Structure 1
């Protein structure tokens, strides 16, 4: 018996929206969020290919492909692709991460069929020519130079290299200057043929669309590429062991500010404490009422930007604090960070503070899903990286269940251990850094920082 498409309704919203998933023979997953009141539609193809899949020689190949796939297909030139989207007032774009690549379009709902056809064409039938490879090589080298000129981009790469040393996510998605110079058309085309197959993909569409129509358009676009013998790829498992470096990684730059990221390893994206980690990050540095913002910016005026952040991959993650300040103030800023980390590690969050953070995270999530592009991104990414659908109400309930004891235990575990730091600024070596920072790196938010 021939395999059949399996379709299931995953959620019905109070606003009339419906989330539906179809798994097509061949492993391709199509998920939609139909929103009757939406006048637009967002179409995305999520490919389970990113920089963690690359060898050293192919470092940056996933991002290189992202550039090349818009240059033309067997059916359309690059100009025709752009003109078709422009003609309906739409947008076409893509991005590459460590673990996946996404190609997407945002159009009026009446142009959703066109968008599906174009995005599928770009992803499935790209023509990779030597002249285009050479042109995009220069573009990417300029992009690398631009990132090198941006201290926050440089800091992000340095912090990842220090925090995830020995793990594939430690390397920058864009690759290195040398790997981009050395990469050939044959290597890139081979990488494309090997990696871009339907079982590694999720098609997600959100907006004023009908699920059955979307499945019909997608099946037509994929055609004979759907091999019924194949099944959908499972979410990624671990790609290696990360070993956070001790001390601070210093990148010398002759700039006006010192840029600091300091943090500790945390669990990956499926870590049971991931919601508590988000609550902790929001309380410490998630907005204008957060502890670090109030202390470092509002009370002392030592930084314009100061925040806490989390990252989560298949098997590794981090909790970190960022601050940008005058070099002569880096010591004081480091001391204030240590004081706040110690206070949370020792005493946890106040009841009113926890309630505020719950509301902040819940409200931010709901407001962030007002547009069809955000809806498309949420359903597509979750299905690709977790092979599951979690409703917004499930996410809100998980945040609401985080209590003060859970945050206190997490803070005591995370924030009292030695930390990993990266600094970009006018420092030649770690020995040039202020003592308050090196002390914070060595001991974390331990009691001796208080007072």
Structure 2
């Protein structure tokens, strides 16, 4: 059962009791990511994510690590374009301890200057690592290209130039301004009692002061763009894509199924035509990235320079077939079962359930049941997929 409590200052606490599990997954989420940063502070949300485990008024970084290890806890954090999350998973009877630790690092982090300097070097190496990994870096370059000056196009990690400017002072100032209570969702799934969980969190989270006003998110205007970056590599790493529906758009079910058909699994059009039939690539897939107000549907592959033209011809031919409506009822039925299977199998993991609670709250403002999602998938028709393909597979939108 999913339950939700809103504290007087706007913090939302959402739980899903799964009594058959012995563990609980808990996450403190903030509706703030790299798209909410100004150009000069690009990467600061990710930097805070790193720093949050580096010491509080009550614990050193070593103490945080030791206390989490002592209860068998698995902890981590991540930053995306739109959210930041600090999360942990423990056995159910250790929930009070892990909740207290996560609250401490979330509310009482000190960002000691020495720790800031050490972590700066770590993040600079992380940026370099991505730049030295073509299959990752090509996606960074694609985002910069397709979104241009819109914040969605900025690297979540920031740039070496911006990362070198982060200090204890501007980290604390940004935290106070961007992490207001109205943006915070605490989600937990597993062996948990909702009322007891609220009592654990409310005394500290109720003290969270109002944050400042963040810049309004600007919806990007997508047009066709082309970019080539020369590197001394064995392969050409290619990312191409177009507009896709936003996370809450009514077309999201059609978009998910269309993605599966084209390049979302091993029986998809692109995997079969490019890899299995012609051996042109080891890696080829399509993906869907959905945001609050827009989305990207993309294709990635890596091929030899000599076969790039042939690969592009095959991809283009398969996209045109979809756009012309050359999709069978059998293909659609298989895609639906593939998506449903992924959802239900993922539902057996309470980390996924915890994430789903928070994402539903931010995207829809309510809990979506699995049955509702299944109904949405079942309702999608071949006509819906072809209509979406006609709207998105266009020369003036593809980059």
Shorter-normalised TM range? over 0.9
Please state how far the C-alpha of 1:274 moved relative to its aligned partner.
1.4
Matched, 1:280 2:263: no
Matched, 1:192 2:170: no
Alignment of 1:392-403 (within 5 A): 392-403=370-381
Aligned residue for 1:213?
196
Aligned residue for 2:22?
39
Aligned residue for 2:12?
29
Tell me which of 32, 45, 65 is aligned to 1:62.
Answer: 45
Aligned equivalents of 2:148, 2:394: Cα separation in 1 = 21
Aligned residue for 1:440?
none
Please state how far the C-alpha of 1:264 moved relative to its aligned partner.
1.0
Please state how far the C-alpha of 1:373 moved relative to its aligned partner.
0.6
Aligned equivalents of 1:218, 1:326: Cα separation in 2 = 55
Alignment of 1:106-125 (within 5 A): 106-125=89-108
Please state how far the C-alpha of 1:272 moved relative to its aligned partner.
1.9
Structure with the greater alpha carbon radius of gyration: 1
Q: CA 1:123–1:295 in 2, change beyond 3 Å: closer, same or farther?
A: same
Aligned residue for 1:373?
351
Aligned equivalents of 2:292, 2:252: Cα separation in 1 = 12
Please state how far the C-alpha of 1:286 moved relative to its aligned partner.
1.1
Please state how far the C-alpha of 1:241 moved relative to its aligned partner.
4.2
Task: Give per-residue Cα distances to partners, 1:192-220, cap 9 Å, x unaligned.
Answer: 12222322100000001111111111113
Aligned equivalents of 2:275, 2:343: Cα separation in 1 = 26
SS in 2 for 1:30: strand
Tell me which of 143, 150, 172 is aligned to 1:160.
Answer: 143
Aligned equivalents of 2:324, 2:388: Cα separation in 1 = 11
Aligned equivalents of 1:388, 1:223: Cα separation in 2 = 22
Task: Give per-residue Cα distances to partners, 1:228-283, cap 9 Å, x unaligned.
Answer: xx79x9xx996224233534211211111211111111232122211101110000
Alignment of 1:102-141 (within 5 A): 102-141=85-124
SS in 1 for 2:353: helix
Please state how far the C-alpha of 1:71 moved relative to its aligned partner.
0.5
TM-score by length of 2: 0.96
Aligned equivalents of 2:205, 2:265: Cα separation in 1 = 44
Aligned equivalents of 2:382, 2:86: Cα separation in 1 = 40
Task: Give per-residue Cα distances to partners, 1:349-394, cap 9 Å, x unaligned.
Answer: 2010000001011111111121111110110122134322111111
Aligned residue for 2:281?
303
Give ranges in structure 2 of 5+ residues lacking alignment.
none
Task: Give per-residue Cα distances to partners, 1:85-112, cap 9 Å, x unaligned.
Answer: 1111111110001111000001111111
Give ranges in structure 1 of 5+ residues lacking alignment.
1-17, 422-451
SS in 1 for 2:39: coil
Q: CA 1:238–1:403 in 2, change beyond 3 Å: closer, same or farther?
A: farther
Aligned equivalents of 1:182, 1:135: Cα separation in 2 = 14
Matched, 1:177 2:160: yes
Q: 8 Å contact 1:165–1:244 — kept in the other structure?
A: no
Aligned alpha-carbon RMSD (Å): 1.8
Please state how far the C-alpha of 1:182 moved relative to its aligned partner.
2.2
